[in-house]
Amino acid sequence: MEKDARIYVAGHRGLVGSAIVRALRARGHTNLLVRTSAELDLRRQVAVEGFFADEKPDYVFLAAAKVGGILANDTYPADFIRDNLQIQVNIIDAACRSGARKLCFLGSSCIYPKFAPQPMKEEHLLTGALEPTNEWYAIAKIAGIKMCQAYRRQYGFSAISVMPTNLYGPGDNFDLANSHVLPALLRKFHEAKLAGAPEVVVWGTGTPRREFLHVDDMADACVHLMEAYDGEEIVNVGVGEDVSIAELAAMVGQAVGYTGNIVYDASKPDGTPRKLLDVSKLTATGWRARIGLAEGIAGTYAWYLGQMKAANGQM
């Protein structure tokens, strides 16, 4: 991508979108197009078409999405499938029609079957039933993948689809009601430390294994693939290794400086036993993650503390 290319980052305020903006600016890209949801409602076709007709971006990173944890997905299934389908259809179609040179669509590892072989390869897509609690979101993302493939086949539109593993980092959601496991644990341990609580209770047995990728690595991979990959098939983005929830909790406790006990509530659900991506296709393009999990957790906790201080007027 040329340094002066017009690059639209949809969802620039979100976890991934904000990281993509950081990555692009670090590489000297200054002609970035961003709009808040108040300025441009991506669910409205006429508004999106008008934006693309006026701005005519050369490249598009589609990182905008309605996201949430298991509780949110299970509580608001209609919102998740409707909003995500609308956003994707509007942006992919308008990007193609306005002459954008390339689009990068961000999916999710939840597109894979609940009991897919581990590690999960790109060809496992649509080979089995989805996880029921977030199938609405997953189906929307699968539709986005297929739309990119269809527009490539029918219109020759250069659209690629990348599937990130579990992401974390600066800009994450720390709301215990709808956040993902890593930021939820960070907040839990932080509050336990402040309260002097003797123990932290973690849901489940601690045995499920999960893969975690720092969002700045994810952004770096997106920019890399935008420049190095132009195929129809999806590409997994992850680190290629996982940890148990118990190992993760111990790492979070160490980063926070919590010295109490960690207790596991086996009466609560564990979820899928393991979720690990096969990233051999990505590494074949010359890219590997650079931020280690312990380092990434420590940096994310430092960011969280900064946010807390700012919210309390201490900065």
Active site residues: 137
Length of the chain: 315
**203 labelled as ligand-binding?**
yes
**165 labelled as ligand-binding?**
yes
**56 labelled as ligand-binding?**
no
**194 labelled as ligand-binding?**
no
- Pair 19, 218: CB distance under 8 Å: yes
**270 labelled as ligand-binding?**
yes
Query: Half-sphere exposure of residue 116, counting CA atoms within 13 Å on the CB side?
Result: 24
- Pair 274, 117: CB distance under 8 Å: no
**166 labelled as ligand-binding?**
yes
- Summary count for the chain: helices (H), strands (E): 10, 13
> How far apart (Å, rounded) are the C-alpha atoms in residues 242 and 32?
34
Residue type, 236: N
**243 labelled as ligand-binding?**
no
**Tokens representing residue 154 in the block:** 């029918």
> How far apart (Å, rounded) are the C-alpha atoms in residues 85 and 104?
16
**224 labelled as ligand-binding?**
no
The Cβ of residue 158 has, within 10 Å, a number of other Cβ atoms equal to 19
**180 labelled as ligand-binding?**
yes
**179 labelled as ligand-binding?**
no
The answer for residues whose C-beta is within 8 angstroms of residue 126's C-beta and 6 or more apart is 142
**12 labelled as ligand-binding?**
yes
**280 labelled as ligand-binding?**
no
Question: For residue 47, with 0-12 CB atoms within 10 Å meaning exposed, 13-18 middle and 19 or more buried, which class applies?
Answer: middle
**15 labelled as ligand-binding?**
yes
Max CA distance (Å), the chain: 61
Residue type, 45: Q
**257 labelled as ligand-binding?**
no
> How far apart (Å, rounded) are the C-alpha atoms in residues 171 and 186?
13
**107 labelled as ligand-binding?**
yes
Question: Binding site residues, as ranges?
Answer: 11-17, 106-109, 141, 164-167, 180, 188, 203, 210, 270
Q: Annotated binding site for substrate, which residues?
A: 188, 203, 210, 270
Instruction: Could you list the residues known to form a binding site for NADP(+), using ranges.
Output: 11-17, 106-109, 141, 164-167, 180
